[in-house]
Structure 1
Amino acid sequence: MTKEIIEKLADLEHEQWVKWSKSVAHEVSLERRERWQAYWIPYSALSEEIKEQDRVWARKVLEVIENGTE
Protein backbone atom coordinates (compact mmCIF):
# COMPACT_ATOMS: atom_id res chain seq x y z
CA MET A 1 0.00 0.00 0.00
CA THR A 2 2.74 2.47 0.91
CA LYS A 3 4.49 1.91 -2.44
CA GLU A 4 1.24 2.67 -4.27
CA ILE A 5 0.76 5.87 -2.26
CA ILE A 6 4.33 6.95 -2.97
CA GLU A 7 3.78 6.40 -6.69
CA LYS A 8 0.56 8.43 -6.64
CA LEU A 9 2.23 11.23 -4.70
CA ALA A 10 5.26 11.15 -7.04
CA ASP A 11 2.94 11.38 -10.04
CA LEU A 12 1.25 14.38 -8.44
CA GLU A 13 4.64 15.96 -7.65
CA HIS A 14 5.67 15.56 -11.29
CA GLU A 15 2.40 17.08 -12.49
CA GLN A 16 2.95 20.04 -10.16
CA TRP A 17 6.53 20.48 -11.38
CA VAL A 18 5.46 20.40 -15.03
CA LYS A 19 2.87 23.11 -14.43
CA TRP A 20 5.32 25.23 -12.44
CA SER A 21 8.20 24.81 -14.88
CA LYS A 22 6.00 25.72 -17.84
CA SER A 23 4.82 28.83 -16.00
CA VAL A 24 8.38 30.07 -15.42
CA ALA A 25 9.99 28.71 -18.59
CA HIS A 26 10.10 32.16 -20.17
CA GLU A 27 12.30 33.33 -17.25
CA VAL A 28 15.07 30.76 -17.65
CA SER A 29 17.78 30.26 -20.23
CA LEU A 30 16.96 28.56 -23.50
CA GLU A 31 19.33 25.73 -22.54
CA ARG A 32 17.46 25.08 -19.29
CA ARG A 33 14.07 25.35 -20.99
CA GLU A 34 15.10 22.77 -23.58
CA ARG A 35 16.33 20.46 -20.82
CA TRP A 36 13.04 20.85 -18.95
CA GLN A 37 10.96 20.22 -22.06
CA ALA A 38 12.31 16.68 -22.24
CA TYR A 39 10.49 16.03 -18.93
CA TRP A 40 7.19 17.66 -19.85
CA ILE A 41 5.74 14.19 -20.33
CA PRO A 42 3.50 12.01 -18.17
CA TYR A 43 5.08 10.55 -15.04
CA SER A 44 4.53 7.05 -16.42
CA ALA A 45 6.79 7.85 -19.39
CA LEU A 46 9.74 9.01 -17.25
CA SER A 47 12.84 6.90 -16.70
CA GLU A 48 13.16 5.21 -13.31
CA GLU A 49 16.02 7.59 -12.46
CA ILE A 50 13.83 10.65 -12.98
CA LYS A 51 10.83 9.05 -11.27
CA GLU A 52 13.02 8.52 -8.22
CA GLN A 53 13.58 12.28 -7.97
CA ASP A 54 9.80 12.70 -7.65
CA ARG A 55 9.61 9.81 -5.19
CA VAL A 56 12.04 11.59 -2.87
CA TRP A 57 9.48 14.38 -2.44
CA ALA A 58 6.61 11.91 -2.24
CA ARG A 59 8.31 10.19 0.69
CA LYS A 60 8.73 13.53 2.44
CA VAL A 61 5.02 14.25 2.06
CA LEU A 62 4.10 10.80 3.32
CA GLU A 63 6.39 11.26 6.32
CA VAL A 64 4.63 14.51 7.24
CA ILE A 65 1.24 12.82 6.90
CA GLU A 66 2.28 9.82 8.98
CA ASN A 67 3.93 11.89 11.73
CA GLY A 68 1.22 14.50 11.92
CA THR A 69 2.16 17.54 13.94
CA GLU A 70 4.63 15.85 16.28
Structure 2
Amino acid sequence: MNEDIAQMDYEAAAAELERTVQQLGKEQEDLAESVRAFERGLALARRCGRLLDEAERRLNELAPAAQRSTGP
Protein backbone atom coordinates (compact mmCIF):
# COMPACT_ATOMS: atom_id res chain seq x y z
CA MET A 1 0.00 0.00 0.00
CA ASN A 2 2.68 2.53 0.96
CA GLU A 3 4.88 1.53 -1.97
CA ASP A 4 2.54 3.35 -4.34
CA ILE A 5 2.57 6.41 -2.07
CA ALA A 6 6.38 6.53 -2.20
CA GLN A 7 6.16 6.92 -5.99
CA MET A 8 3.54 9.71 -5.98
CA ASP A 9 4.36 13.26 -6.91
CA TYR A 10 3.12 16.06 -4.68
CA GLU A 11 -0.03 16.80 -6.64
CA ALA A 12 -1.18 13.17 -6.67
CA ALA A 13 -0.45 12.66 -2.98
CA ALA A 14 -2.19 15.90 -1.98
CA ALA A 15 -5.26 15.06 -4.08
CA GLU A 16 -5.54 11.59 -2.58
CA LEU A 17 -5.01 13.01 0.90
CA GLU A 18 -7.89 15.41 0.32
CA ARG A 19 -10.13 12.53 -0.82
CA THR A 20 -9.10 10.49 2.21
CA VAL A 21 -9.91 13.35 4.59
CA GLN A 22 -13.33 13.73 2.97
CA GLN A 23 -13.92 9.99 3.30
CA LEU A 24 -12.98 10.10 6.98
CA GLY A 25 -15.36 13.02 7.47
CA LYS A 26 -18.28 10.85 6.44
CA GLU A 27 -19.94 8.60 8.94
CA GLN A 28 -18.69 5.04 8.52
CA GLU A 29 -19.85 1.86 10.13
CA ASP A 30 -16.67 -0.14 9.53
CA LEU A 31 -14.03 0.72 12.12
CA ALA A 32 -11.31 -1.30 10.38
CA GLU A 33 -11.90 0.61 7.13
CA SER A 34 -11.72 3.91 8.99
CA VAL A 35 -8.44 2.92 10.61
CA ARG A 36 -6.97 1.88 7.24
CA ALA A 37 -8.04 5.19 5.71
CA PHE A 38 -6.53 7.08 8.64
CA GLU A 39 -3.23 5.19 8.27
CA ARG A 40 -3.15 5.89 4.54
CA GLY A 41 -3.90 9.54 5.21
CA LEU A 42 -0.94 9.74 7.58
CA ALA A 43 1.33 8.14 4.99
CA LEU A 44 0.08 10.58 2.35
CA ALA A 45 0.63 13.56 4.67
CA ARG A 46 4.18 12.38 5.38
CA ARG A 47 4.85 12.02 1.64
CA CYS A 48 3.59 15.55 1.00
CA GLY A 49 5.74 16.87 3.84
CA ARG A 50 8.86 15.14 2.52
CA LEU A 51 8.27 16.47 -0.99
CA LEU A 52 7.75 20.01 0.32
CA ASP A 53 10.91 19.76 2.45
CA GLU A 54 12.88 18.58 -0.59
CA ALA A 55 11.52 21.42 -2.74
CA GLU A 56 12.42 23.96 -0.04
CA ARG A 57 15.94 22.52 0.24
CA ARG A 58 16.42 22.74 -3.52
CA LEU A 59 15.15 26.33 -3.64
CA ASN A 60 17.48 27.31 -0.81
CA GLU A 61 20.39 25.81 -2.75
CA LEU A 62 19.42 27.65 -5.93
CA ALA A 63 18.68 31.04 -4.37
CA PRO A 64 22.32 32.08 -3.75
CA ALA A 65 23.31 31.08 -7.29
CA ALA A 66 20.39 33.04 -8.73
CA GLN A 67 21.33 36.10 -6.69
CA ARG A 68 24.95 35.92 -7.91
CA SER A 69 23.91 35.70 -11.54
CA THR A 70 21.49 38.63 -11.27
CA GLY A 71 23.60 40.69 -8.88
CA PRO A 72 24.24 44.45 -9.20
Fold match by TM threshold 0.5: no
Per the normalisation by structure 2, the TM-score is: 0.40
Per the normalisation by structure 1, the TM-score is: 0.40
- Tell me which of the two structures has the higher relative contact order, counting C-alpha pairs closer than 8 angstroms and 6 or more residues apart: 1
Q: Which one has the largest radius of gyration?
A: 2
